[in-house]
Structure 1
Amino acid sequence: MFRKLPGDEARNLVSTTPDTAVVFRPAVVRTPAFVTIVIWLSRLVAGLVRLVWRHPIAVAVPVVPGVIWTLYGWRLALVLVGLVLLAGLSWASLHWFSFLRLVGWRLLAFWRRVWIYRRHWQPVMIISGLGRHLRGRDYLPRLMRVECDGWADRLTVKMLNGQAVKDWADRTDQLAHGFGSRTCRVSIARAGRLVLTFPRRDPLAVPLSAVPIPDVVSVGPVEIGAREDSTPYRLKVHGTHVLIAGATGAGKGSFLWSTIRGLLPAMRAGLVELWALDPKLMELSLGRDLFTWYAADPEQCADLLDDAVTVMQERAGRFAGLLRSHTPTTADPFVLVLVDEVAFLTAYQSDRTLKQRITAALATLTTQGRAVGVGVMAALQDPRKEVMNIRNLFPDKIALRLDESEQVDMVLGDGARDRGALADHISPVPELGAGVGYVRLETSPDPVRVRAAYVSDDDIRAMVAQYAQAVDTVPITDQTTAPSPMPITTRVPVIGEVAP
C-alpha cells in the first residue's frame, strides 16, 4: 500500500552493540552530463551578463583593446589605448571630481571587490559564523554590490534566510579585521539587505579650524564641523534638544561654541536668544557678553531655568489652538538654553532643594519646550542613569570619547556600539580625538561619525567684539506681553560680580 523509501531501511537495521551508531546514507541520484553542462553554461552566461551590467567600465578596459587587437592588429590597439589614456589624463586634470565619480571610484570598486572582498568572502563568512558549511556545501550571504568613495567601501549584502541584523552587528570586529579595515558599520538598506561600511582612511584625523560665521540669518541646522565623508555637518538645534556626553578633554566645548558661532547672525537679527548656564565658570564665561542671560551660581542657574519654564508656559498658552510648531520671530525668538556640566547641577549638587528644582525644570523644558521654540543643549561627562536620569528626554544625542564601552549605549541607545559607534576607541590625544564623536539623531538609528570645529579663545574674543553690542541694543519688550521676570538686556550676574 505504501511505497518504502530509502530512509525507511534504517528501521530494519539491528545491532547487538548498544553504543553503535546507525549510519544512514540517502540514495544517490546521478545527474546526466548533458544536464550538468547546461546548468554550468547557463550560470556562466548569467554571471557574464551580470558582470557587464554592474561593471561596464572595468569590463571595457581589457575587452575593447583585445577585440581591436584581434581584428585590426596590435598597432591600432596600442594607438587606441594611448588615446584613451591621454583623454583620461586630460579629463582628470580638468575636472578631477567628475572623473573620480564616473570612472575612478568604479574601477577601484571592481578591483577591491575581486581582490579584497570576493577573495576572502568564504573564509570570513564561515569563520565569523555568518555562513555555514553543511554536507560539503557552503551557505553564504550574497555579496551584491561594492561601492567606493574617497574614504570608505560600502558593501550591499543579502542576508541568509533566518538571519537578523544583530547577527551581523555582533560580528563587526571579525568583519573589519577579516577584510583589513579599521572598523565596520552595519546599516539596513531594506528588508533582507544590509550595507557594510569599511573605512579606508580617516578624514577626521586632522583638527578643523572654526567654521566661518554664516552670512545668512538662520536658526539652523547650524554648520559646526564635518562628517566622516568630508561633507559639512549641520546640527539641528531648533525644534529639538541635544545631549553631548564625553570625558574630560573630549571636545564638548567645540560643539557648544560652534553652535553659538553659527547662531550669531540670527541672534543679531533678534531671532535667537542664548541663555547660558556655566556652573564651572570656565567654558562659557569668556563669551558671556554674547548671551542674553548668563548664570554660574547654582541658585542663579535654578532661577534661570525656572524663567525659561515660565517663558515656555506663557508661549504654550498663547499658541494653544493656533499653532503646532514654532517659527522664530523678533517677538517670540528661539530660546536656546546652553548647560555646561549639567551633571554638577542634577547629581553632584549638595543642596537637595536646588537639585530637585533644576531637574524638574530641565525635565519640563525637554518634554514641552521644543514645540514653542525653547531648546536645551546640555553637556556632561558621566552619562550614567544615576547621574543624568532624564537623558532619554533628549531626542538627539552626541557621544564623544567615553571611558567605557557600556557608556556608548547609555548615550546613543541600545545597539549603537554594535552598529559601529566606537566612542570608547576615540584617541585621547587632543590633536587626534578632540571634537570627534558619534551622532544618533531622532530620525535615524544609525550613528554618524563627525568632528566639530575647534573655536579658539581668539575666535571667541573676536565674536564678542563683533556681536556683543547686538545683545545690548535689543529693545526691552513690554512686560504685559512677555512674562520675562526682568528685561532681556540684563545679564544675570556671575559670582563675585555686583548686579547693575
Structure 2
Amino acid sequence: MFKKMPGEESQRIVSTTPDTAVVFKPAVVTTPAFITLAVFVARLVAGLARTIWRHPVAVAVAVAPLALCWLYGWRAGLLLTVPPLTGLATWAVLDRTSFARLVGRRLLAWWRLVWIYRRLWQPVVIISGLGKHLQGRDYLPRLGKVTCTAWADLVTVRMLNGQTVKDWTDRADHLAHGFGAPSCRVSVLKAGRLLLTFPRHDPLADPLPALPIPDRTSVGPVEIGKQENGLPWRLKVHGTHILVAGATGAGKGSIIWSTIRGLLPAVQAGLVELWALDPKLMELSFGRDLFGPRYAATPEACADLLEQAVKVMQERAARFAGVQRSHTPTTQDPFILVIVDEVAFLTAYQADKHLRQRITAALATLTTQGRAVGIGVLAALQDPRKEVMNIRNLFPDKIALRLDESEQVDMVLGDGARDRGALADQISPDPAKGAGVGYVRLEASPDPIRVRAAYVSDDDIHAMVSAFARPRAFGIDGREAL
C-alpha cells in the first residue's frame, strides 16, 4: 500500500525507473480432452451435413461407388458402378450442353468450393484486410454458395457487421490474385450479402463476325454483339440516347455499324430514318448512300442537320401534346436516329465559336426532349472529359470501350463504375483481342455489363449499301432532294 502524502507532495515525486506496461495474465483453464473431441466431432458432422445439403449430386457421385463396394464387394460394386459412369460419359459426349448444366458444373462448383475458396478463404481475407484477427480469434466474412457458369465462378459472401461494399470493391484486386482469377467483380445481392464474380476464362477473347441482317422489321432492341455471359447483346435505341466513348481503334465503328445493320429492315419499311454526321469523313462515308440527303460532313452542314432534327422534334411535340406521351414508329412519324461520329470535334475542337454553340445547343435540345417524340442520338467520342463533352450526363445509356486512363471510366459510366468491375482501361489494345470489347451501363441498372460488338468489315458495308441504298433524287439546282 502507498502511504498517502499530504498536500501536493505526491505530484513532485520523480521516478528514476522507466515506465513499464502492466501485463495481466489471464488464468489458464485446462479443457478436458473429451470436450475438445466432442466439439471437433460436432463441427465435422455439421460440415458434412452442410456439404451434403449444398452439393447432393457431387456427394452422391463420390460416395455411391464406395458404399456399393462396402456393401456388396468390389466386384458387385464395380458391376453396379460402371454402367452409370458409362451412361454419364455417353451423355457428356452426345449432349455436352445439358450434361454441363445439370451435372458437370455442379461437380466443378463443389470442387472449386473445397479446393480453391474454402481452402484459401482465411489467408486471403485476413491478408487483404477483409477479416480481423483479434485476441487469438479470427473474424471472417462468411463464405456462402459457389455456382459455376460456363465462364465464371459466382461466390456469395456475407459481410462482417460494419463492413461496406466499398471495403470489398477497394480490395477486388487482392481477391482476384488470391484466388487465381484474372479479375473480381463485386455486386450487391441484398443488405449484407455480396456476389463475387471470378472469371475462369474470357468468352469475348475472339472477334465476332458481322451478325446477319434481321429478317424481320424491328425498331429495337437491336442485336449488335454478345454479352460476357453468352447471351446476345441487344442495344436499345428507341426511347433513349447512347454515348460511346473509346480510344482510337477501340471499336466505336463496330457499335455504330452493327446498330445500322440491325435497323436496315426497319429503314427499308419506312419506320426508321438514319441521320448521319461524319465530321471525320472516314467512318460513315462508307455507307453514305444509306443515309441519302441526311448525311453531313462539314461543320456547317452538321449544324444545319441537327437544327433540322430539332425542328422535326418541336413539330412532333406540338402535335403530340395532349394526345400521346410516348412515340410509336409509323411511316408518317418514323423513329429518327441521329448518329454523330466523333462528337467532340463538333462540340469542343470546332474553331468557329458560333458553329460550336449552335451544335451544342441542338444536341442538348435533342437529348433532353427528343426521346418522347421518337428522336434518339447515338454519339461517339474519344475524350470523355467534361470540358470536351459537357452534355455527357444527358445520355442515359453509356458504353465505355478501351480507355487510356482509369479515371475516364467513371467519367463515362458514372461514379463507382470501375469499382464495380468496369475495367475499361485494362482492355487489350490488340485489335484482335480488344476491339469492340467494352462495358455498358444502362439507365435502369448501375452495374456495368461486359460486352463485345460484332465487327462489320468494309465488304459488309458495301454489301449493305448494294442491298438497301435507295436511289438518290436530285432537284432542279442539282442538289440532292430531301
Answer yes or no: is the 8 Å Cα contact 2:474–2:480 preserved in 1: no
Per the alignment, residue 194 of structure 1 pairs with 194
Per the alignment, residue 255 of structure 2 pairs with 255
CA distance in 2, matches of 1:432, 1:302: 37
More deviation, 24-33/237-246: 24-33
1:313 partner amino acid = Q
SS at match of 2:102: helix
1:440-475 per-position Cα deviation (integer Å, ceiling 9, x unaligned): 111111111111111011111111111112x76xxx
Per the alignment, residue 149 of structure 1 pairs with 149
Per the alignment, residue 279 of structure 1 pairs with 279
SS at match of 1:214: coil
CA distance in 2, matches of 1:457, 1:16: 89
CA distance in 2, matches of 1:84, 1:124: 39
CA distance in 2, matches of 1:413, 1:460: 33
RMSD between aligned alpha carbons? Answer: 2.0
1:187 partner amino acid = S
TM-score when normalising by structure 1: 0.89
| 1:367 and 2:377 matched | no
CA deviation after TM superposition for structure 1 residue 283, in Å: 0.3
Q: 1:374 to 1:151 in 2, by over 3 A?
A: same
1:92-141 per-position Cα deviation (integer Å, ceiling 9, x unaligned): 22321110001000111111111111111111101111111111111111
Q: 1:357 to 1:28 in 2, by over 3 A?
A: farther
CA deviation after TM superposition for structure 1 residue 230, in Å: 2.2
1:449 partner amino acid = R
Percent of aligned positions that are identical: 74
Per the alignment, residue 239 of structure 2 pairs with 239
CA distance in 2, matches of 1:490, 1:389: 38
CA deviation after TM superposition for structure 1 residue 229, in Å: 2.1
SS at match of 2:187: strand
Per the alignment, residue 331 of structure 1 pairs with 332
More deviation, 89-98/193-202: 89-98
Per the alignment, residue 402 of structure 1 pairs with 403
After TM superposition, list the pairs within 5 Å mapping 1:176-191 onto structure 2: 176-191=176-191
1:298 partner amino acid = P
Answer yes or no: is the 8 Å Cα contact 2:280–2:342 preserved in 1: yes
CA deviation after TM superposition for structure 1 residue 325, in Å: 1.6
CA distance in 1, matches of 2:134, 2:319: 69
SS at match of 2:469: helix
SS at match of 1:73: helix
1:379-431 per-position Cα deviation (integer Å, ceiling 9, x unaligned): 00000010001111111111111111111111111111111111111111111
After TM superposition, list the pairs within 5 Å mapping 1:77-96 onto structure 2: 77-96=77-96
Q: 1:201 to 1:412 in 2, by over 3 A?
A: same
1:73 partner amino acid = G
CA deviation after TM superposition for structure 1 residue 45, in Å: 2.9
CA distance in 2, matches of 1:87, 1:369: 60
After TM superposition, list the pairs within 5 Å mapping 1:339-358 onto structure 2: 339-358=340-359
Per the alignment, residue 443 of structure 1 pairs with 444
CA distance in 2, matches of 1:355, 1:408: 26
SS at match of 1:225: strand
CA deviation after TM superposition for structure 1 residue 39, in Å: 4.5
CA deviation after TM superposition for structure 1 residue 53, in Å: 1.2
Per the alignment, residue 23 of structure 2 pairs with 23
Q: 1:320 to 1:29 in 2, by over 3 A?
A: farther
Q: 1:125 to 1:277 in 2, by over 3 A?
A: same
1:158 partner amino acid = R
1:161-207 per-position Cα deviation (integer Å, ceiling 9, x unaligned): 11111111111111111111111111111111111111111111111
Per the alignment, residue 484 of structure 1 pairs with none
CA distance in 2, matches of 1:411, 1:66: 57
CA distance in 2, matches of 1:30, 1:309: 84
CA distance in 1, matches of 2:26, 2:310: 76
CA deviation after TM superposition for structure 1 residue 43, in Å: 3.2
CA deviation after TM superposition for structure 1 residue 499, in Å: 4.7
More deviation, 328-337/22-31: 22-31
CA distance in 2, matches of 1:311, 1:490: 22
SS at match of 1:156: strand
CA deviation after TM superposition for structure 1 residue 244, in Å: 0.4
Per the alignment, residue 481 of structure 1 pairs with none
Per the alignment, residue 72 of structure 1 pairs with 72
Per the alignment, residue 106 of structure 1 pairs with 106
CA distance in 1, matches of 2:127, 2:304: 60
| 1:429 and 2:430 matched | yes
More deviation, 171-180/20-29: 20-29
Which ranges of structure 1 fall in alignment gaps of 5 or more residues?
1-14, 473-488
Per the alignment, residue 9 of structure 2 pairs with none
More deviation, 76-85/263-272: 76-85
1:287-333 per-position Cα deviation (integer Å, ceiling 9, x unaligned): 01111511111011111111111111221222222222211111111
CA distance in 1, matches of 2:24, 2:366: 70
2:289 partner amino acid = D
Q: 1:68 to 1:377 in 2, by over 3 A?
A: same
CA distance in 2, matches of 1:490, 1:332: 24
CA deviation after TM superposition for structure 1 residue 35, in Å: 5.7
1:220 partner amino acid = G
CA distance in 1, matches of 2:33, 2:318: 83
Q: 1:460 to 1:137 in 2, by over 3 A?
A: same
CA distance in 2, matches of 1:179, 1:322: 58
Which ranges of structure 2 fall in alignment gaps of 5 or more residues?
1-14
Q: 1:490 to 1:430 in 2, by over 3 A?
A: farther
CA distance in 1, matches of 2:295, 2:26: 82
CA distance in 2, matches of 1:35, 1:220: 67
In the alignment of these two chains, the number of paired residues is 465
CA deviation after TM superposition for structure 1 residue 87, in Å: 0.7
1:66-89 per-position Cα deviation (integer Å, ceiling 9, x unaligned): 111111111111122211111102
CA distance in 1, matches of 2:242, 2:207: 23
CA deviation after TM superposition for structure 1 residue 49, in Å: 1.9
CA deviation after TM superposition for structure 1 residue 40, in Å: 4.1
Per the alignment, residue 459 of structure 2 pairs with 458
| 1:175 and 2:179 matched | no
CA distance in 1, matches of 2:348, 2:82: 71
Per the alignment, residue 97 of structure 1 pairs with 97
1:43 partner amino acid = R
Per the alignment, residue 62 of structure 2 pairs with 62
Q: 1:58 to 1:443 in 2, by over 3 A?
A: same
| 1:317 and 2:325 matched | no
Per the alignment, residue 216 of structure 2 pairs with 216
SS at match of 1:359: helix
CA distance in 2, matches of 1:55, 1:129: 30
CA distance in 1, matches of 2:474, 2:104: 59
CA distance in 2, matches of 1:319, 1:353: 32
CA distance in 2, matches of 1:370, 1:333: 13
CA distance in 2, matches of 1:147, 1:422: 23
